[in-house]
């Protein structure tokens, strides 16, 4: 693997971290955003999968090697969009592409509906434009508040066990023991304040839903979902109908984390999408 270069950006007095994987032969870059309780480490496997494109792995606020400020306002949707814009402006490449998984997908979509002129393509894995029903959004806000309190009052290990015991992740039990243990161990490296504030500031209920905005998103968009992820499959089928220039790919033998559960098929689809756009 080539050397990863750490790129930190100062934002309002705290540091946001990224890792830059440089391919000197490429004039394109892929920005990668992890999910809740993840970090840049979750996607480092992309460096070993012969993707001839520069890659910037971003640690979102409150995660990985980025700072975890106490002030909740830094974790709001509009602030996360501004933070992401700082990274995208920092790197000077001919073509820029944005990938986001789950929470990272919500951040990537939030960015894209505001700055679609700055990127050339968008990839969303197991993500959502938000919750339409105000009642359901309020229910989710309540649930996230309860989980945020649990995080602060318990060890990070207990949080990870609770998080991965959700039905959304039940398919992970079929992973090889070593692979599942590695997935868990990466989550232990996160900061409890950062995780708690992310839930409160940018949980799915707290964010502004983007269902109307995606109708004006003219970017090429690739939507990924797992074969067994019924909830997000339904969401993305509807989103795919509304987006003018999107396509939906269902990854076999996977639920909410296709990149972990079926890495090979995941890579094949990303390569095809980027190749068709002339990125690689």
* Lookup result for tokens 């606020």: 61
The DSSP string of 114-139 is HHGGG-SEEEEES--S----HHHHHH
pLDDT at residue 2, rounded to an integer: 66
Cβ neighbours, 10 Å, residue 44: 17
Q: Are 109 and 124 in contact (CB under 8 A)?
A: yes
- Token pair 């938000």: residue: 130
> 256: domain range?
4-276
Q: What is the pLDDT of residue 86?
A: 97
What CATH number corresponds to the domain at position 141?
3.40.50.1820
Q: In terms of Cα–Cα distance, which of 195, 196, 205, 191 is closest to 77?
A: 205
The 3-state DSSP class for residue 8 equals: strand
How many folded domains does the chain comprise?
A: 1
Per-residue pLDDT of the chain (280 residues; tens, 9 = 90+): 568 999 999 999 999 999 999 998 899 999 999 999 999 999 999 999 989 999 999 999 999 999 999 999 999 999 999 999 999 999 999 999 999 999 999 999 999 999 999 999 999 999 999 999 999 999 999 999 999 999 999 999 999 999 999 999 999 999 999 999 999 999 999 999 999 999 999 999 999 999 999 999 999 999 999 999 999 999 999 999 999 999 999 999 999 999 999 999 999 999 999 999 999 9
pTM for the full model? Answer: 0.97
pLDDT given at position 1: 53
């Amino acid at each position: 693997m080539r050397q990863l270069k750490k790129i930190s950006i100062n934002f309002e007095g705290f540091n946001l971290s990224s890792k830059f994987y440089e391919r000197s032969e490429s004039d394109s870059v892929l920005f990668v955003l992890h999910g809740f309780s993840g970090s840049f480490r979750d996607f480092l496997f992309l460096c070993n999968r012969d993707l001839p494109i520069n890659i910037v792995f971003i640690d979102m606020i409150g995660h990985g090697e980025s700072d975890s400020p106490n002030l909740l306002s830094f974790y709001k949707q509009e602030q996360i969009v501004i933070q992401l814009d700082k990274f995208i402006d920092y790197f000077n490449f001919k073509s820029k592409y944005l990938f986001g998984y789950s929470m990272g997908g919500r951040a990537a979509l939030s960015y894209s509906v505001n700055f679609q002129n700055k990127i050339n393509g968008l990839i969303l894995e197991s993500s959502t434009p938000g919750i339409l029903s105000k009642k359901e959004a309020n229910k989710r806000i309540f649930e996230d508040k309860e989980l945020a309190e649990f995080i602060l009052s318990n060890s990070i290990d207990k949080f990870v066990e609770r998080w991965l015991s959700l039905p959304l992740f039940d398919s992970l039990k079929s992973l090889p023991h070593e692979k599942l243990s590695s997935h868990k161990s990466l989550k232990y490296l996160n900061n409890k304040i950062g995780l708690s504030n992310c839930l409160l500031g940018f949980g799915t209920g707290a964010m502004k839903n983007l269902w109307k905005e995606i109708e004006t998103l003219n970017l090429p968009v690739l939507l990924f979902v797992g074969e067994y992820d019924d909830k997000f499959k339904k969401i993305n089928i509807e989103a795919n109908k509304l987006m003018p220039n999107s396509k939906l790919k269902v990854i076999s033998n996977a639920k909410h984390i296709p990149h972990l559960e079926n890495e090979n098929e995941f890579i094949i689809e990303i390569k095809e999408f980027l190749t068709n756009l002339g990125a690689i």
